[in-house]
Amino acid sequence: MAKPVVIKKADEMQARARELSCAGKSLGLVPTMGALHAGHESLIVRARRENDVVVVSIYVNPTQFGPGEDFERYPRTFEADRKMCAEAGVDIIFAPDSLYHRAARTWVEVGGLEEPLCGMSRPGHFRGVATVVTKLLSIVRPDRAYFGRKDAQQLLIIQTMTRDLHLGCEIVPCETVREPDGMAMSSRNRYLSASERKQALAISHALEYCRAEVEKGERDAMTLLGEMANLLGGQPDLEIDYVAAVDARTLDDLTTLKGDVLVAIAAKVGNTRLIDNTHFEGLK
Ligand code: AMP
């Protein structure tokens, strides 16, 4: 098992990536904030299959955290991450100390898609995400970059921005990896106490309920969302941020589920904010 090379400087990463591209190698990038789990691993495995060279970036991006959020306490587990990357055959770990010049003043905003859903309670979050992903794509210039559907709004914003700015990279969506009981894997799950972990399961249960009802023919958003909110409301330490059914391309609220639909939940369990979703294509 070859050890991945660790690169900490953006200039060095950019030069190395350019060399590899010039030598005719295809590059796959998996952007992460570290604390890697099987969800990240599935992105890495796919990137390994589809590219000559795999770069995993590990960077806890300060600009996507709001005041009072968990930037300081976000899990940083570099040695374990490095081990997982080695086992998965990653070639390069890009782990910069900072990606922001002290006088940085350039930001990437994707109008209309940043404000709804998570944007409501995390103003500025997606501007931070769009900006850091633009930086990573500019530094590595990958042929393909891999993102999880668990962060569906983030994925849509990145797809839109890549198209609008001609970034010339294929954005590859990857399915959500779940624990055996259905809970979506997340670096933040490790914050949960045993009781919170049990209560958090209501999130994936509510989404499973929604899938089952839609399969039976239910299309009324109020009926579905109301029942999902009831399922979540049974948990004493769970506070709903939103339960929404939106058009998967515009994120506009739907009254009837039709076409490509995203049903998404965000909730705080204790102090931990969790998100999950399910998506439907071509609903009639
Ligand atoms: P993060 O380190 O949380 O910023 O996530 C890095 C990438 O991994 C993002 O594209 C996420 O959507 C993706 N990801 C996180 N959790 C999962 C999961 N459970 N299944 C699939 N992808 C995931």
pLDDT tens, residue by residue, 9-57 = 999 999 999 999 999 999 999 999 999 999 999 999 999 999 999 999 9
Tell whether ligand 1 has an atom less than 6 A from the beta carbon of residue 186: yes
Q: Whose CA is nearest to atom 14 of ligand 1?
A: 148
Single-letter amino acid code for the residue at 71? F
33 lines ligand 1 (CB under 6 A): yes
Q: What's residue 1's pLDDT? A: 63
> What pLDDT score was predicted for residue 203?
98
Rounded CA-CA distance 35/60 in Å is 10
Q: In angstroms, what is the span from residue 174 Cα to ligand 1's centroid? A: 9
Instruction: Report CA(194)–ligand 1 centroid distance (Å).
Output: 22
Map tokens 């350019």 to a residue. 18
Ligand 1 binding pocket mutation candidate from 36, 43, 85, 273 (most atoms within 8 A of CB)? 43
DSSP one-letter string for 39-61: HHHHHHHHHHHH-SEEEEEE---
Which residue, among 119, 133, 140, 124, has the nearest Cα to 162 in the 3D structure?
A: 133
67: which 2 tokens?
Answer: 């005041």
**pLDDT at site 108:** 98
Centre of ligand 1 to C-alpha 19, Å, is 28
Q: Quick check: CB of 148 below 6 Å from ligand 1? A: yes
Looking at residue 275, its pLDDT comes to 98
pLDDT reported for residue 217: 98
Identify the pLDDT of residue 98: 97
Residue 123 tokens, joined: 């103003």
Binned average pLDDT, 10 residues per bin, the chain of 284 residues: 92 98 98 98 98 98 97 98 98 98 96 98 98 98 98 98 98 98 98 98 98 98 98 98 98 98 98 98 97
Ligand 1 mean position, distance from CA 38 (Å): 9
Q: Is the CB of 32 under 6 A from ligand 1?
A: yes
What are the angstrom distances between the C-alpha of 116 and each of 154, 209, 247, 251, 266?
A: 12, 24, 12, 7, 12
Q: How many CA atoms lie within 13 A of 127 on its CB side?
A: 13
Burial (CB < 10 A; 0-12, 13-18, 19+), residue 94, is: buried
Confirm or reject: Cβ of 204 under 6 Å from ligand 1. Answer: no
